[in-house]
Chains A and B, each alone.
Chain A
Amino acid sequence: MTASKNGTLNSKVPEGNLQDKWDNHKNNLRLVNPANKRKFTVLVVGTGLAGASAAASLAELGYNVKAFTILDSPRRAHSIAAQGGINAAKNYPNDGDTVWRLFHDTIKGGDYRSREANVYRLAQVSNSIIDQCVAQGVPFAREYGGLLDNRSFGGAQVSRTFYARGQTGQQLLLGAYSAMMRQVHTGKIELFPRREMLDLVKVDGKARGLVARNLTTGEIERYAGDAVLLCTGGYGNVYYLSTMAKNCNATAVWRCYKRGAQFGNPSFTQIHPTCIPVSGKYQSKLTLMSESLRNDGRVWVPKKKGDNRPPNEIPEEDRDYYLERRYPSFGNLAPRDVSSRSAKYVCDEGRGVGKTGLAVYMDFADSIKRLGVDAIKAKYGNLFAMYEKITAENPYEVPMRIFPAVHFTMGGLWVDYNLSSNIPGLYVLGEANFADHGGNRLGASALMQGLADGYFVVPYTLSDYLAENLHSKKIGTDHEAFEKTEKETMERINKLLSVKGKKTVLDFHRELGELMWDNVGMSRNRKNLEMAIKKIGELRDEFWKDVNIPGENNTLNKYLEYALRVADYMELGELMARDALDREESCGGHFREEHQTEDGEAVRDDEKFSNVSSWEYKGDDKEPVKHTEDLNFEFVTPTQRSYK
């Protein structure tokens, strides 16, 4: 039985009409006067879209910012890899889009497991994001008339996605990074690359600093500040194989969890339907093929089990275009969770293709016939080239092979409307928080959320907190709390280094990943989740007894960095399984086999689970306690999603 406390979390959503909440709230937030701003230091951890935009905006306002990243430059953050685009309700194409519609699509897409007020605000500020980025020189796609071009993405019925070829994330991040570097130049931002936050420092219950490992020298460094902003991205790498960059990790959020920050909906993971399948044991990561391909690619498998003919020799009548068959109105554009699960089903039936049988075809032959090779090349040239580089197959001639892969984590640290965690002074932005995507994220909405949080939300809400703390005592890094936290961190590192076991970190990570993928992946059930919880515990014990970490602490040592991260995944993985077990319903990407219709569609339980599960750490040998935040839908009516 999970201990739980109902409705104990205060989301601090302001009163009033949905449309007015954010404006009213802004009117009521306290301000810090310019002369006082420079008395505050804000620690921004992570320099992806969320971190870079927050760091730049706060520095522009006059706060002192210290910015941290594990990579050698802020520009390399994982956001750089986003391909498809960013949503905004500009309605430039005049096709009927509005802020309300963007809000409604996003909250429905999330299967009604996100907070109305947050999602509405996200849609509201989306337009300012585009204005900001264009002013920074982000080269979005344009039409011949010189105005911005939009496309439809992820099954949306309007064209609201702004894009920069297949490199939207890169261009947005470089925009935010350049804004940030401008403030580095003025001295308002101090940059700390190759630093990994390993713990949070709390004084009197408030976040007052952090300890970080200098990844070049191994030194543990202390940083004090008036607030800490976690912008450290998602934790999809718990699954080992994912589309996340190799250094993405959960350490910062997990360490904050262990210091008392609650973790919201940890099991909500997005599995993206169109990735390049695994080719062998040496595989180190998976590559996404942008969802935009589903606008022109038709997904199919052979009708018969074990049909090994090359795809081009399988005649029409022996093919099963299963998405078109099951979801006639959305077809190949069915949402990500639905498409991913459908691919799993056909592979489970033994109809998967390729060497491993864990793939389905995405076929462009019909579109090439209809539109011509040149048109397809113009739209997807870079994606086709990337596919060919990786697989050595030419997708203009043979269908692509694709398979779902872990891509994004909707779960994350719990935050209120102000993006504050339950620890005062600890704010969480971007993919690291749980806030806006509910059970399933729609395409082109994570970039929007990261930039909304950093440019347009936190600069307001943080000022309210700082204004309240104007007279609180400054804390130096010689405070005993730093002493203690540093010591605990060093002990953890030394303990790991002293194991000197026989299995590599990668061996453990791969094993954990398989457990997670098989049992806490696309399709979940009680029996497997219970088994996974047990096995993860056993694997964790084994890890601490038998892991082999080479080298020393006092130098660049990437396998030590890796070991520290995997140690945290071993704990987080278990919490994800617990959350999945506890949530007795299917919603969005969380599919419990016990809760489905006769034809395999998800069944939500709004009676019991129209809420956020937020977990509180109680100690390494104790079970975590679940708190809930009730989701009140005042302005939309949750319906069963149907894509039939």
Chain B
Amino acid sequence: MTIHLKIWRQKDKNSPGKLVDYTVDDANPDMSFLELLDWLNERLMNEGREPVEFDHDCREGICGSCNLVLNGMAHGPMQGTAVCQLHMRKYKDGDTIVVEPWRAKAFPMIKDLVVDRSAFDRIMAAGGYISVNTGAPADANAIPVDKYNADQAFDYAACIGCGACVAACPNSSASLFTGAKISQLAHLPQGDPERNRRVVNMVDQMAEEGFGDCSNYAECEAVCPAEISITSIAKMRREYFNALSEIE
């Protein structure tokens, strides 16, 4: 099949970028989208041109490295799927796909489709953990967790940290990402002692990094490959207000 691509090319943070047209005339429906980019890059290098830079690692939807906006949709057209798991059979012969990076002030450009998402790590460092030193804990079964809460915690813990929620949000808010971690730990007894400090520090860090506020567009939930529910944001807000009132 033939696929036309318009790909964002940008040398570095300080240079202007633009969409550049490419055509791959021997794409295969069983290729993944990233394999299509590999294929294109082989072609470009054989012609002495510079390949397109993009982040990727596991190529099975779990590491959160890949980050492409296809025709305006973060991670492309398939729900609950990271772009590395998208296969070309989703497209028709002759289709045109516009390929862009995550765009957000808090994710500075590095090159082409690669951006800097270290702001997420700093939000995690601000409080996304339970403070327990190695070797200190009691037996794992000492504190039972009812299955409902354990399952809820898991649903929120499934976040892959990709940043699609930010890319899709008109405000570039990181609320789904931050809310997911806060909600996971709020559903577990182990997370309880620090819950106030945690939510305040993480939310403050999120603002400091330059992510916007949430105004309930729910675009994040629609693109999230881990299908994190937007209820996590409501939970984060409740936790935040409770924390403020308890701290005061």
Chain A residue contacts of B116, Cβ below 8 A = 72
- The interface bits of chain A over 129-166 (1 if a CB of B lies within 8 angstroms of the residue's CB, else 0) are 01111111101111111111000000000000000110
Q: For the complex, is A81 an interface residue (Cβ under 8 Å from B)?
A: yes
**B121 with A174: CB separation less than 8 A:** no
**A389 with B85: CB separation less than 8 A:** yes
**B114 with A556: CB separation less than 8 A:** yes
Cβ-closest chain B residue relative to A191: B121
Q: For the complex, is A525 an interface residue (Cβ under 8 Å from B)?
A: no
Which one of B92-100, B149-157, B168-176, B213-221 is at the interface?
A: B149-157
Complexed CA–CA distance, A179 and B49 (Å): 43
**B65 with A76: CB separation less than 8 A:** yes
Cβ-closest chain A residue relative to B188: A137
- The interface bits of chain A over 102-140 (1 if a CB of B lies within 8 angstroms of the residue's CB, else 0) are 000000000000000000000000001011111111011
Q: For the complex, is B14 an interface residue (Cβ under 8 Å from A)?
A: no
Q: For the complex, is B20 an interface residue (Cβ under 8 Å from A)?
A: no
Chain B residue contacts of A177, Cβ below 8 A = 124
Chain A residue contacts of B130, Cβ below 8 A = 135-137, 178
Cβ-closest chain A residue relative to B32: A284
Knowing A131-B139, A280-B30, A282-B35 are in contact, say whether A56-B60 is a contact too (CB < 8 A).
Answer: no
Complexed CA–CA distance, A540 and B31 (Å): 29
- The interface bits of chain A over 179-191 (1 if a CB of B lies within 8 angstroms of the residue's CB, else 0) are 1011011000001
Q: Which B4-39 residues sit within 8 Å CB-CB of chain A? A: 11-12, 28, 30-32, 34-36, 38-39
Which one of A547-555, A576-584, A598-606, A617-625 is at the interface?
A: A547-555
Cβ-closest chain B residue relative to A454: B134
Knowing A131-B140, A390-B85 are in contact, say whether A81-B154 is a contact too (CB < 8 A).
Answer: no
Q: For the complex, is B57 an interface residue (Cβ under 8 Å from A)?
A: yes
- The interface bits of chain B over 126-158 (1 if a CB of A lies within 8 angstroms of the residue's CB, else 0) are 111111111111111101111100110110011
Q: For the complex, is B237 an interface residue (Cβ under 8 Å from A)?
A: no
Chain B residue contacts of A73, Cβ below 8 A = 64, 117-118, 120-121, 161
Q: For the complex, is A57 an interface residue (Cβ under 8 Å from B)?
A: yes
Complexed CA–CA distance, A172 and B146 (Å): 20
**B129 with A556: CB separation less than 8 A:** no
Q: For the complex, is B110 an interface residue (Cβ under 8 Å from A)?
A: yes
Chain B residue contacts of A550, Cβ below 8 A = 44-45, 48-51
Chain B residue contacts of A137, Cβ below 8 A = 129-130, 153, 157, 184-185, 188, 190-191
Cβ-closest chain B residue relative to A74: B121
Knowing A185-B126, A506-B42 are in contact, say whether A170-B62 is a contact too (CB < 8 A).
Answer: yes
Cβ-closest chain A residue relative to B132: A135
**A56 with B118: CB separation less than 8 A:** no
Chain B interface mostly = loop
B117's contact among A72, A141, A184, by CB below 8 Å, is which? A72
Complexed CA–CA distance, A390 and B30 (Å): 8
Cβ-closest chain A residue relative to B65: A76
Complexed CA–CA distance, A139 and B150 (Å): 6
Cβ-closest chain A residue relative to B123: A181
Cβ-closest chain A residue relative to B43: A504
Knowing A139-B188, A504-B46 are in contact, say whether A72-B139 is a contact too (CB < 8 A).
Answer: no
**A75 with B161: CB separation less than 8 A:** yes
Cβ-closest chain A residue relative to B42: A504
Chain A residue contacts of B140, Cβ below 8 A = 90, 130-131, 133-135, 148
Q: Which B162-191 residues sit within 8 Å CB-CB of chain A? A: 184-185, 188, 190-191
**B87 with A136: CB separation less than 8 A:** no
**B141 with A147: CB separation less than 8 A:** yes
Q: For the complex, is A643 an interface residue (Cβ under 8 Å from B)?
A: no
Complexed CA–CA distance, A131 and B138 (Å): 6
**B118 with A164: CB separation less than 8 A:** no
Best-buried of A75, A76, A559 by chain B (most CB within 10 Å): A76
A76's contact among B64, B89, B141, by CB below 8 Å, is which? B64
Cβ-closest chain A residue relative to B80: A385
Q: For the complex, is A171 an interface residue (Cβ under 8 Å from B)?
A: yes
Q: For the complex, is A392 an interface residue (Cβ under 8 Å from B)?
A: yes
**A134 with B190: CB separation less than 8 A:** yes
Chain A residue contacts of B153, Cβ below 8 A = 137, 139
Give chain B's interface residue range (CB within 8 Å of chain A): 35 or more
**B58 with A81: CB separation less than 8 A:** yes
**B132 with A136: CB separation less than 8 A:** yes
Q: For the complex, is A13 an interface residue (Cβ under 8 Å from B)?
A: no
Complexed CA–CA distance, A5 and B237 (Å): 66
**A139 with B125: CB separation less than 8 A:** no
Q: For the complex, is A459 an interface residue (Cβ under 8 Å from B)?
A: yes
Q: Which B35-79 residues sit within 8 Å CB-CB of chain A? A: 35-36, 38-39, 41-42, 44-46, 48-51, 53, 55-65, 78
Chain A residue contacts of B81, Cβ below 8 A = 389
**B128 with A178: CB separation less than 8 A:** yes
Chain B residue contacts of A184, Cβ below 8 A = 121, 125
Q: For the complex, is B103 an interface residue (Cβ under 8 Å from A)?
A: no
Best-buried of B46, B140, B154 by chain A (most CB within 10 Å): B140
Q: For the complex, is A246 an interface residue (Cβ under 8 Å from B)?
A: yes
Complexed CA–CA distance, A76 and B45 (Å): 28
**A146 with B144: CB separation less than 8 A:** yes
Q: How far is the CB of B33 from chain A (nearest CB, A)?
A: 11
Complexed CA–CA distance, A391 and B192 (Å): 43
**A246 with B56: CB separation less than 8 A:** yes
Complexed CA–CA distance, A166 and B118 (Å): 27
Chain A residue contacts of B60, Cβ below 8 A = 81, 287, 386
Q: How far is the CB of B232 from chain A (nearest CB, A)?
A: 14
Q: How far is the CB of A158 from chain B (nearest CB, A)?
A: 17
Q: For the complex, is A528 an interface residue (Cβ under 8 Å from B)?
A: no
**B62 with A81: CB separation less than 8 A:** yes
Cβ-closest chain B residue relative to A276: B60
Chain B residue contacts of A92, Cβ below 8 A = 141
Q: How far is the CB of B47 from chain A (nearest CB, A)?
A: 10
Chain B residue contacts of A136, Cβ below 8 A = 129-130, 132, 190
**A132 with B134: CB separation less than 8 A:** yes
Q: For the complex, is A283 an interface residue (Cβ under 8 Å from B)?
A: yes
B129's contact among A90, A181, A559, by CB below 8 Å, is which? A181
**A132 with B147: CB separation less than 8 A:** no
Cβ-closest chain A residue relative to B11: A555
Q: How far is the CB of A384 from chain B (nearest CB, A)?
A: 14
Q: How far is the CB of A559 from chain B (nearest CB, A)?
A: 6
Q: For the complex, is A71 an interface residue (Cβ under 8 Å from B)?
A: yes
Binding site for A on B (CB under 8 A): 11-12, 28, 30-32, 34-36, 38-39, 41-42, 44-46, 48-51, 53, 55-65, 78, 81, 85, 87, 89, 110-111, 114, 116-118, 120-121, 124-141, 143-147, 150-151, 153-154, 157-158, 160-161, 184-185, 188, 190-191
When A and B form their complex, which 4 residue pairs have the shortest distance between CB atoms, in order from nearest? A146-B144, A135-B137, A178-B129, A139-B154
Binding site for B on A (CB under 8 A): 53, 56-57, 60, 71-76, 78, 80-81, 90, 92, 128, 130-137, 139-148, 164-165, 167, 170-171, 174, 177-179, 181-182, 184-185, 191, 193, 216, 245-247, 279-280, 282-285, 287, 386, 389-390, 392, 455-456, 459, 502, 504, 506, 548, 550-551, 555-559
Given contacts A73-B120, A132-B134, A555-B111, 13 further A-B contacts (CB under 8 A): A72-B118, A128-B135, A144-B147, A146-B144, A146-B150, A177-B124, A178-B130, A181-B121, A184-B121, A185-B127, A216-B110, A287-B59, A506-B42
23 A-B residue pairs with CB within 8 Å: A73-B161, A75-B121, A130-B140, A134-B140, A135-B137, A136-B130, A137-B153, A142-B146, A142-B150, A143-B147, A144-B147, A177-B124, A179-B129, A282-B35, A287-B59, A389-B78, A455-B134, A504-B45, A548-B46, A550-B50, A550-B51, A557-B53, A559-B45
